[in-house]
Amino acid sequence: MKNLFDYGGTAFPAEWKLPYGAIASCPGRTLRDYFAGQALSGILAGLCAAAVDDRGKAPRARDRVVFNDVAKDAYTIADAMLKAREASS
**pLDDT tens column, 36-57:** 999 999 988 877 666 666 676 6
Write down the pTM of the prediction: 0.68
CB 9 within 8 A of CB 30: yes
Please give the C-alpha separations between residue 74 and each of 13, 23, 56, in angstroms, as whole numbers: 22, 35, 27
Q: Is 51 helix (H, G, I), strand (E, B) or coil?
A: coil
pLDDT band at 80 (very low <50, low <70, confident <90, very high): very high
**Residue 33 above 80 pLDDT?**
yes
Domain boundaries, the chain: 4-88
Per-residue pLDDT, averaged over 30-41, amounts to 92
Supply the pLDDT for residue 28: 80
Q: Cα(first)–Cα(last) distance of the chain, in Å?
A: 25
DSSP state of 14: E
